[in-house]
């Protein structure tokens, strides 16, 4: 059995691009939620339901924009599809866990930093690359959300 591996050693985009995209989507999600949607009673900012809805709206934007921008990944369509098959569930499951367990952000950060230090200089399977990029997107999404919450 031949295992396909992707060489990302020395490249910046698997580390920076998902985190930057996550932070941008978090800020955009909060701004769009506040500007376009009229939050009903109980969905105001500062309430658990309102903040959870803003987090999920940012994750929804992240998934849609991330899948659209995935065509920029310098891989074949087959490899790109395998990367997305693990990155998308990582973001979905991570966002759902974040709603219930507040300290998940620190676990995502530790997992992302660990993956970056251990996997960045190796050829890796597309599934592993997808997990790495999904964790990076979650870290960017959550830190962007926290930053936007205090700044906006």
Query: What is the dihedral sign for C-alpha 49, 50, 53, 54?
Result: negative
Mean pLDDT per 10-residue section of the chain, whose length is 152 residues: 73 85 89 74 67 83 90 86 92 85 80 84 85 91 84 74
- pTM (2 d.p.): 0.86
Task: Check residue 41 and give its pLDDT.
Answer: 58
């Amino acid at each position: 059995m031949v295992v396909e591996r992707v060489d990302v050693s020395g490249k910046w985009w698997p580390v920076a691009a998902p985190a930057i995209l996550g932070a941008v989507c978090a800020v955009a999600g909060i701004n769009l939620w506040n500007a376009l949607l009229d939050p009903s009673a109980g969905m105001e900012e500062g309430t658990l339901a309102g903040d959870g809805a803003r987090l999920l709206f940012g994750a929804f934007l992240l998934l849609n924009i991330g899948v659209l921008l995935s065509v920029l990944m310098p891989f074949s369509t087959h490899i790109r599809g395998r990367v997305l098959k693990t990155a998308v569930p990582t973001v979905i499951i991570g966002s759902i866990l974040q709603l219930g367990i507040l300290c998940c952000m620190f676990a995502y950060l530790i997992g992302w930093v660990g993956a970056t230090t251990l996997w960045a200089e190796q050829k890796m399977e597309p599934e592993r690359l997808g997990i790495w990029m999904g964790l990076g997107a979650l870290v960017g999404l959550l830190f962007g959300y926290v930053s936007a919450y205090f700044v906006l």
